[in-house]
Amino acid sequence: MRKVGFFRSIHLKFVLIYVLLIALAMQIIGVYFVRELEQTLVDNFKQSIEDRLNPLEYSVREEIAADIQGTRSDEDPLKTSINILLSGLVSEDIEEIRVIDRNSNILGTSDPNNQSIVGQRTTDEMVRSALTLGSALGDENNQTFVDQETGNRIWILTSPLIASNGDVIGVIYIVSRIENVYSQMNEINRIFAGGTAISLIITAVLGVLLAQTITRPISDMRKQALAMAKGNFSRKVKVYGYDEIGQLAITFNNLTKRLQEAQATTEGERRKLSSVLSYMTDGVIATDRKGRVILINDPAAGMLNVSRETVLSQPITTLLGVEEEYSFEELLEQQESVILDFSTDGRPYILRANFSIIQKETGFVNGLITVLHDITEQEKIDAERREFVANVSHELRTPLTTMRSYLEALAEGAWQDKEIAPQFLNVTQTETERMIRLVNDLLQLSKMDSKDYRLSRDWVDFVDFYQRIIDRFEMGRSQKVTFQTKLPKDAIYVEIDTDKLTQVLDNIISNALKYSPEGGQLRFKVEKKEKEIIVSVADQGMGIPRENLKKIFERFYRVDKARTRQLGGTGLGLAIAKEVITAHGGRIWASSVEGRGTTIYFSLPFDPTNEDEWS
């Protein structure tokens, strides 16, 4: 997740909002305060001027009234008296005071530098309005102006002098320095601005500290959320208090604990599922609702000879190779198994696929589960079982048919024929013995297939044991076949079941004699290896085609069926030999060249240590 910048953080936003609110509040208070203070100072200034005007107004009105009535007692002229009254009235607030008679003549001024205007006639509009209107002048008797020379504001007040009979006998004209009031206001504004700045700085510092108490738990929770997103549930958010944020932190820690428990449970279930899928012998494939592969275990990848990375997101129908026979929707409705035949000319390979729908309670299909079973061996066993039953049936049917036909002939009177009857009885006896051998071989194979089958082993000098069997066959042979032996001079002790191994050698040597031509030769050989001995019997018969060599140890298999049946074979001898040798822990195989003969080999486990004990 991208780190939050300082200028985008809630910390800065909180401080800015806090400072802006304080600044706005102080601005509103400042505007109201300054406006009211300015009005108050102006009013106080004007009131102070008016208060100072009242005694002067009384004295000047008396002097002018006395002058008009001619009752002045002093010898000084009116202008001199007015000048005496105005002297000393100039102050910091009052710039100039003029006294004007009812004829608009200036009787005196308080400005010593402006005495030249005394006696002149004024044309000021405010003076003329005051002389004309008198007491009805109202608010027009004062106005504020800006001095063009200095640029300062001045306040001019005109106050009419009303005689006792109500006539206007003059006007007092006052010019005051109201700029001082505004200068004070500017100083006050400056002080207020400085105080506001200091307050905002203190407010910002306090806002930062206050914001930390809110943003610190939020920052901790953010870090915890990032850690949780990475799978780390061990951290806890520090609780700084028990307010709403503190309660949120406590709830967040409880949520973390619950998520950790849920994550542990989910992880445990996931590991169980992964373990089950990994160690299943069956292949499992899961798809999404569109039929694309989202999961495949190792057995399934091995069965289909694909890699997990390449098949993900691939359609299931393409992966199974059934896109021409089935669509994904048809697989969802498939109730029975689908047989997948991947067999080649040299190797049979058959899979069975079972399908199960992943479905919600609402009926919405989330996907499809496919389970693959390798049924190659099962099919092979079934085929062998069918072939075995057919072979047994055929092998039994042939002698039974022969016996039936001969017995029917005997029953019809052939038994009375002294020449034919013995032949028929001889054939019947031969076929009966053949069936007995077949049944005995089948019983022996059945016992060897049983789990309870045990060998009666004993330590035997195999060289002597093998030589005695060869001697027995050499003495009883009927055709002109020579025997050649190549056996070790020293004894070789092995642990074998002599009866079973005698049967094996009898079958192998009998077959070699059957297929050996007149004047042929049988070669018998024993080789001692490091951990086994190799026994071989070679003939000079017609040989076996190379493509049939691996099949001669199968039950009822014959290379030349007509000749084998003629010689009385059941087709089970080499199959029994293979079972016996395998039970001894050895192996059996053959080599052959067509027209030159066949060699049968088998091995037996051999331990030189045990041999030393027996020798």
Q: What is the pLDDT of residues 292-325, one digit of tens each?
A: 998 888 888 888 888 888 888 899 888 888 888 8
Cα 545 vs. chain centroid, distance in angstroms? 60
1 occurs within a structural domain: no
328 occurs within a structural domain: yes
Q: DSSP readout, 38-98?
A: HHHHHHHHHHHHHHHHHHHHHHHHHHHHHHHHT---SSS-HHHHHHHHHTT---SSEEEEE
Task: Please identify which residue in the block is written with the tokens 């109500």.
Answer: 166
Q: What is the pLDDT of residues 21-70, one digit of tens each?
A: 888 888 888 788 888 888 888 888 888 877 877 887 788 787 777 777 76
Count CB-CB contacts under 10 A for residue 296: 26
Tell me: do 23 and 138 sit in the same domain.
yes
Between 252 and 90, where is the model more confident? 252
Tell me: do 469 and 608 sit in the same domain.
yes
List the domain range (segments joined by +) for residue 407: 380-449
Q: What is the pLDDT of residues 160-170, one digit of tens each?
A: 888 877 788 88
Tell me: do 553 and 467 sit in the same domain.
yes
110, two tokens: 């308080």
Residue 564 has pLDDT above 50, yes or no: no
202 occurs within a structural domain: no
75 occurs within a structural domain: yes
432 occurs within a structural domain: yes
Average pLDDT for residues 489-497, to the nearest whole number?
89
Q: What is the pLDDT of residues 250-282, one digit of tens each?
A: 888 888 888 888 888 888 887 887 777 777 778
| pLDDT for position 526 | 92
Model confidence band, residue 1 (pLDDT cutoffs 50, 70, 90): very low
Q: DSSP readout, 451-492?
A: TT-----EEEEHHHHHHHHHHHHHHH--S--EEEEE--SS--
Whether the CB-CB separation of 153 and 129 falls below 8 Å is answered with: no
Q: Tally DSSP H helices, then E strands, for the chain.
A: 16, 17
Enclosing H/E stretch for 218 = helix 179-229
Tell me: do 268 and 295 sit in the same domain.
no
Tell me: do 313 and 328 sit in the same domain.
yes
Note if the pTM is more than 0.85.
Answer: no
Tell me: do 81 and 130 sit in the same domain.
yes
The separation between the first and the last C-alpha atoms of the chain, rounded to the nearest angstrom, is: 81
Q: Give the pairing of strands 94-101 and 168-176.
A: antiparallel
Q: How many residues does the chain have?
A: 615
Tell me: do 299 and 356 sit in the same domain.
yes
Task: Please identify which residue in the block is written with the tokens 């000021």.
Answer: 124
Tell me: do 387 and 472 sit in the same domain.
no
Tell me: do 516 and 542 sit in the same domain.
yes
Q: Is 133 left (phi over 0), alpha (psi -120 to 50) or beta?
A: alpha
- The most confident of the ranges 303-307, 398-402, 549-553 is 303-307
Number of domains the chain contains: 5
Q: Look at 52-61, 198-207, 562-571 and tell me which has the smallest mean pLDDT.
A: 562-571
Residue 84 has pLDDT above 50, yes or no: yes
Task: Please identify which residue in the block is written with the tokens 């108490």.
Answer: 213
3-state DSSP assignment of residue 107: strand
Tell me: do 335 and 412 sit in the same domain.
no
Mean pLDDT of the chain: 80
Q: What's the CATH number where 294 sits?
A: 3.30.450.20
Q: CA-to-CA distance for 96 and 156, rounded, in angstroms?
A: 10
Contacts of 334 (CB under 8 A, 6+ apart): 326, 355
| pLDDT for position 536 | 92
Q: CA-to-CA distance for 314 and 328, rounded, in angstroms?
A: 12
- The most confident of the ranges 170-174, 317-321, 424-428, 600-604 is 600-604
Average pLDDT for residues 516-528, to the nearest whole number?
89
Model confidence band, residue 2 (pLDDT cutoffs 50, 70, 90): very low
Tell me: do 423 and 462 sit in the same domain.
no
| CA triple 356-357-358, angle to 5 deg | 120
Tell me: do 315 and 389 sit in the same domain.
no
